[in-house]
Amino acid sequence: MIDNEKMLVKPGKKIKLSDFKTTSHEGYNADELKERLEKNVEKLSDLQEVLYADNRYSVLIVFQAPDAAGKDGVIRKVFSGINPQGCSVHSFRGPSKEELEHDYLWRHYKALPEKGIIEIFNRSHYENVLVTKVHPEYVLGSHIPGIDSVKKVNDDFWAQRYEQINNFEKHLAQNGTIILKFFLNLSKGEQTQRFLDRLNEPEKNWKFNSGDLDEADLWDKYQTAYEDMLNNTSTEYAPWYVVPADIKDYSRTAVSEIIKDKLKSMDLKFPEGEGKEQLDIARKRLEKRK
């Protein structure tokens, strides 16, 4: 059994990313992982149908990771069996001019799921404490009052931003949104190999972006930013899971297991239909139409 607790960042407990594995298969071989993933995908399909019919909760699933960690593959595989009417994916890139004219959470509010819907954020509001923390000059583009130089993007600024994100997620949770957050923990060596694969395999060339290498060269700064993010924003209502990402079959299966277990733990149920008398009347009317 995949141990979800080993991947959980416990609220209030300070962690180091080095405490978490990048490679794991929990004793499963590749065929066993794929079989388990297939079963989880099938179960998720059933649970999503009840979630949609129940119409009381929404689900927000957040993915953050270094480049080439496999976010797209996880999303494609884990949610392959879900009815498209009940699930959507939003990928956040750099903010547009319009988005920069609003607070940094505005565009994320717009993409939040309706009740009964699973929304997947492929990258998310956490870019505002990751990319901007590594490149604090980006913050100046938001024209925040009082923040007119990089020197003012300091520890107090980041503490305030973590608090704002926690409050944002707490508000969502208190109003019926289930939040699960996944950090795909990729090793530097595996990232390098995946970049080389993109260069060496013609069908993967389209995935390669030279700009990714510039960000990859900032590996240590990003690792620090990830660690700070996990330590400051893993909460009871919106926990982070650090999933080993060097073995794709394992990361996909682990994510599917955590989501499945969470949905199973909820009091989801199909709403009651009309009473027996009304159903009998409807049945008789339909039988007369034959």
DSSP codes of every residue in 115-148: TT-EEEEES-GGGGGTHHHHSGGGGGGG--TT--
Q: In total, how many domains does the chain have?
A: 1
Residue 31 phi, psi (nearest 5): -65, -40
Contact (Cβ atoms closer than 8 angstroms) between residue 158 and residue 144: no
Query: What's the per-residue H, E or C state across 209-263?
Result: CHHHHHHHCCHHHHHHHHHHHHHHHCCCCCCEEEEECCCHHHHHHHHHHHHHHHH
Strand order, beta sheet including 240-244: 8-9, 240-244, 177-185, 58-64, 118-122, 87-91
For residue 252, the domain's CATH number is 3.40.50.300
Q: Which residue range(s) make up the domain with 58?
A: 4-288
Q: What is the pLDDT of residue 274?
A: 63
- What single DSSP character describes residue 89? E
Tokens for 175, please give them: 């109003």
Contact (Cβ atoms closer than 8 angstroms) between residue 190 and residue 250: no
How many residues are recorded in the chain?
Answer: 290
- Stated as kind and residue range, the H or E segment containing 43 is helix 30-54
pTM of the model: 0.93
Secondary structure of residue 184 in the 3-state scheme = strand
Contact (Cβ atoms closer than 8 angstroms) between residue 183 and residue 242: yes
Q: What is the pLDDT of residue 253?
A: 96
How would you write the pLDDT of the chain (290 residues) with one tens digit per residue? 688 899 999 999 999 999 999 998 777 889 999 999 999 999 999 999 999 999 999 999 999 999 999 999 999 999 999 998 999 999 998 999 999 999 999 999 999 999 999 999 999 999 999 999 999 999 999 999 999 999 999 999 999 999 999 999 999 999 999 999 999 999 999 999 999 999 998 888 888 888 888 899 999 999 999 999 999 999 999 999 999 999 999 999 999 999 999 999 999 999 876 666 777 767 778 788 87
Tokens for 150, please give them: 């990089």
Residue 59 phi, psi (nearest 5): -125, 125
Residue type, 198: R
CA–CA separation, 271 vs 281, rounded Å?
20
